[in-house]
């Protein structure tokens, strides 16, 4: 479930990055790298788990499914927080700098 | 247990390598991924340090989110020795085995995807270069 949620997040971010110039300006590419990197690594984890437990991998217990779903959402949220911090620091549209300048005035 | 440490270790190495290569490139000692290119074509090529940056981002991004997953599962803790498996001698072997199998495979897969990206970008660069050369030829004929 975590893998699935991360892959969907990666696909959505990649589509946004490809289709929208303003998304590229807002550094959505960072999210693409984050989510694709994690998706590839969890894919390997999933393959190893499938090798060890077989078809049972596709029928997890409801409690495990819920925990993985919650983890997946938390991972997406963490990725968004990392992206937001980077955007605020790099300030591609100059909004933070403008706000600070106004305050000083 | 600690599989994310292997791609994180590669990320450290590639980050240092990218910085060294970038310094050489800025000094004018151009480091390109192909030595067969002629001077006008080199201008069009993406610097290798930038390409290595793609691998860095994939590795650091993946490792960061996997670190969070390990914290979630209680396998990484904020106190020494940071890995719960490392605190228990009976689990150290299992941890090292997981690093040697899953960790190494993660690193290999991410690096293989990056190599694929290099191949695609190289084809795109060559196409762009040949299109520009064709345009130049047409202009000179006119």
Q: How far apart are CA B68 and CA B11, in angstroms?
A: 17
- Provide mean pLDDT across the span A70-83: 95
End-to-end, the C-alpha distance of chain B in Å comes to 67
Cβ-based burial of B127 (10 A; exposed 0-12, middle 13-18, buried ≥19): exposed
Chain B contact for A43 (CB, 8 A cutoff): yes
The DSSP bridge partners found for residue B83 are: B76
Residue B1: the pLDDT is 76
CB atoms inside a 10 Å sphere around CB B132: 14
Minimal Cα–Cα distance from B31 to chain A, Å? 24
- Provide mean pLDDT across the span A64-85: 95
> Between residues A64 and B27, which one has the greater pLDDT?
A64
Report pLDDT digits (tens) over A19-59: 999 999 999 999 999 999 999 999 999 999 999 999 998 99
* CA-based nearest residue to A47, from B87, B70, B108, B41: B108
**CA quadruple B61, B67, B69, B72: dihedral sign:** negative
Report pLDDT digits (tens) over B94-124: 889 999 999 999 999 999 999 999 999 999 9
Nearest to A82 among B64, B69, B72 (CB): B64
Residue A105: the pLDDT is 58
Residue B33: the pLDDT is 54
Residue B43: the pLDDT is 52
> Between residues B139 and A95, which one has the greater pLDDT?
A95
As a whole number, the mean pLDDT across chain A is 92
3-state secondary structure of B33: coil
pLDDT at position A3 over 90: yes
Residue A102: the pLDDT is 80
Chain B contact for A71 (CB, 8 A cutoff): yes
Cβ B61–A38 below 8 Å, yes or no? yes
Cβ A41–B4 below 8 Å, yes or no? yes
Q: How far apart are CA B37 and CA B19, in angstroms?
A: 23
Q: Which tokens is A46 given?
A: 């999933």
Cβ B61–A42 below 8 Å, yes or no? no
Q: For chain B, which residues score pLDDT lower than 70? A: 29-44
* CA-based nearest residue to B132, from B38, B52, B48: B38
Closest residue, chain A, to B99 (C-alpha): A45
Q: Are B53 and B121 within 8 A, CB to CB?
A: no
Residue A90: the pLDDT is 92
Residue A22: the pLDDT is 92
Which residue carries 């192909």 as its tokens? Answer: B34
Q: Are B85 and B91 within 8 A, CB to CB?
A: yes
């Amino acid at each position: 479930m975590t893998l699935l949620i991360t892959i969907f997040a990666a696909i959505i971010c990649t589509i946004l990055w490809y289709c929208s110039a303003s998304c590229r300006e807002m550094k959505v590419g960072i999210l693409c790298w984050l989510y694709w990197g994690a998706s590839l690594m969890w894919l390997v984890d999933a393959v190893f788990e499938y090798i060890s437990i077989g078809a049972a991998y596709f029928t997890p217990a409801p409690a495990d499914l819920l925990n993985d779903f919650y983890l997946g959402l938390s991972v997406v949220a963490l990725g968004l927080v990392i992206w937001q911090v980077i955007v605020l620091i790099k300030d591609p549209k100059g909004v933070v700098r403008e706000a600070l300048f106004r305050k000083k005035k | 247990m600690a599989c994310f440490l292997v791609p994180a270790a590669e990320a450290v190495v590639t980050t240092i390598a990218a910085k060294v290569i970038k310094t050489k490139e800025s000094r004018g000692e151009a480091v390109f991924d192909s030595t067969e290119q002629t001077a006008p074509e080199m201008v069009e090529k993406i610097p290798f340090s930038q390409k290595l940056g793609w691998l860095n981002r994939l590795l650091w991004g993946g490792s960061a989110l996997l670190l969070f997953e390990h914290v979630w599962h209680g396998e990484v803790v904020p106190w020494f020795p940071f890995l719960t498996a490392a605190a228990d001698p009976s689990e150290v072997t299992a941890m090292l085995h997981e690093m040697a199998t899953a960790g190494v495979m993660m690193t290999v897969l991410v690096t293989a995807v990056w190599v694929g990206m290099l191949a695609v970008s190289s084809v795109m660069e060559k196409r762009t270069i040949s299109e520009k050369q064709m345009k130049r030829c047409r202009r000179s004929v006119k």
